[in-house]
Chains A and B, each alone.
Chain A
Amino acid sequence: MHNCKLTRRDFVDLALDEIPGAKATQLLAELKDCEACQVEYAALRSTLHVSNQALRSTLPAEDFWPDYHSRLQSKLFASGIQRVDEVLPLSLSSRAWLALRTLFTTSVPVPVPAALGLILLFGASVFLVRARTQVNARPSAPVALVETKTREVPVIQEKVVTRVVYVEKKGERSRSGMNRANRNEVPEAATGSNAAKTALSLVDFKPTEEVKLTVIKGSYKDQKR
């Protein structure tokens, strides 16, 4: 699709024959369809034509040239220029010297950002090399003598002792009181068959719902005591 703005961007190049054949043909075809672009292009070409004619018209008249040429001629003869061919042919050593001189005097155009980057890189590398050299050259510090001693320190150990306390129920307590009385009364019977008594008493035994736990803390030494 034709875009006037985009097409006009190429007008200068088109007018100055800087656009290759295929694209130029395409542009010219586009121009045929757009009258505004056609007018603009014609005006641009006219501008170039006019400026070309104007520049030509500023050249000196014919009578200027003979005098100019004679002045140039006299300058050439009077200059006494040492021509390059008078110095040639150069010897091999001279050529090598010339090549070396050319190598060191030739300048290469480098974009400013690239040049800045190179300078920064060079600076950083110089800094790093210097820093590394300083680290290597620095005398090693005397190593401090550290005496290591092992000392045993008593560590408090915690030991949890759990005891299950069986508490008799109230009814059992009274019974046991009676039993105690019976025992007092008939101690022979009680002492006579101990195993049977124990079996009898454990049948109805039920552990209490309330359990009181006592945690005794202390060190190993304390326990020993």
Chain B
Amino acid sequence: MSSEAELIKQAQGGDAEAFCLIAQAYERRIYSLAFHYSRERQDAEDLSQEVWLKAYAALATFRFESSFYTWLRKITINCFLNHRRTKSWRWQSQTAHTSEEPPVMKDNPGAASRVFESALQNHLVVEKVMRVLADVTPQQRLIFLLKHQEGMTYEEIAKELGCSLGAVKKSVSRTVGKLREKLGVNEEPENYMSCAVTGVMR
């Protein structure tokens, strides 16, 4: 039995510490999904923690028939959908992250200029992407995130959201089309987001 399965068994037996260890392994993914869905830090934290609380409450129903993350993702999606029904979110075009100014290096003006340029470019790209996600409906955003970020198949998404396969396809296509239009990418991806993964935006 793997360590994750052992931890799950322990958590099912009432060990909250074991559950916290499981949560530690997946909390970034859940938070990331919640953040891109809600586009607000505070909402993302509330939403992701609600997911964990619900998962803890329903842990006994996990029968090891699927992976733990698949089961957890189902809870996440239900939580998102319920949250959307009960709360009217503030869908703003700007987020706390994207409104931050790019950093400036004072020691080396040349390097600082290059880093600044790159950071500014990344900043603009991130802002454009977030704006597109703000423009689409919450359902379209969730479908796009589940497909693009979570790598779920169209069929899985349709099953989870209770809609048709065609609707999922159309939704993804529409969001990607909007991204394509907004970003206007015509070159190799290497020319974009050169520092995106290095955390310049933070």
Complex Cα gap A89–B44 (Å): 35
A95 on interface, CB distance cutoff 8 Å = no
Complex Cα gap A51–B202 (Å): 17
Verify A76–B56 contact, CB threshold 8 A: yes
B183 on interface, CB distance cutoff 8 Å = yes
Rounded to whole Å, the gap between the CB of B57 and the closest CB of chain A is 5
A83 on interface, CB distance cutoff 8 Å = yes
For A88, the closest partner residue in chain B by CB is B60
Verify B31–A85 contact, CB threshold 8 A: no
Beyond known contacts A51-B129, A58-B35: 14 more, CB 8 A cutoff: A13-B169, A16-B172, A18-B153, A42-B188, A45-B189, A47-B185, A48-B148, A50-B189, A54-B193, A54-B196, A65-B27, A69-B24, A72-B23, A76-B16
List B contacts of A77 (CB < 8 A): 16
A61 on interface, CB distance cutoff 8 Å = yes
B173-192 near A? 1/0 per residue, CB < 8 Å? 10011011001011111001
A-B contacts at CB below 8 angstroms, number: 147
A199 on interface, CB distance cutoff 8 Å = no
State which residues 108-134 of A face B: CB under 8 Å. Answer: 109
Q: Classify chain B: how many residues form its interface, as a range.
A: 35 or more
Chain B residues near A (Cβ < 8 Å): 12, 14, 16, 19-20, 23-24, 27-28, 31-32, 35-36, 41, 45, 49, 52-53, 56-61, 95, 97-98, 122, 125-126, 128-130, 132, 147-149, 153-154, 162, 169, 172-173, 176-177, 179-180, 183, 185-189, 192-193, 196-197, 199-202
Q: Which one, B14, B27, B132, B176, contacts A85 given CB within 8 A?
A: B14
Complex Cα gap A43–B187 (Å): 6
State which residues 42-84 of A face B: CB under 8 Å. Answer: 42-61, 65, 68-69, 71-73, 75-77, 79, 81-84
Complex Cα gap A42–B180 (Å): 11
Complex Cα gap A49–B12 (Å): 39
Verify B28–A59 contact, CB threshold 8 A: yes
Rounded to whole Å, the gap between the CB of A207 and the closest CB of chain B is 100
Verify B183–A51 contact, CB threshold 8 A: yes
Q: Tell me the interface secondary structure of chain A in the complex.
A: helix
List B contacts of A46 (CB < 8 A): 185-189, 192
Q: How many residues of A contact B (CB 8 A)?
A: 44
Rounded to whole Å, the gap between the CB of A161 and the closest CB of chain B is 93
Q: Which one, B31, B36, B149, contacts A68 given CB within 8 A?
A: B31
Verify A43–B95 contact, CB threshold 8 A: no
Complex Cα gap A60–B28 (Å): 9
Verify B183–A47 contact, CB threshold 8 A: yes
A12 on interface, CB distance cutoff 8 Å = yes
For A69, the closest partner residue in chain B by CB is B24
Q: Which one, A45, A50, A75, contacts B193 given CB within 8 A?
A: A50
Verify A85–B12 contact, CB threshold 8 A: yes
Verify B176–A44 contact, CB threshold 8 A: yes
Complex Cα gap A97–B91 (Å): 42
Rounded to whole Å, the gap between the CB of B132 and the closest CB of chain A is 8
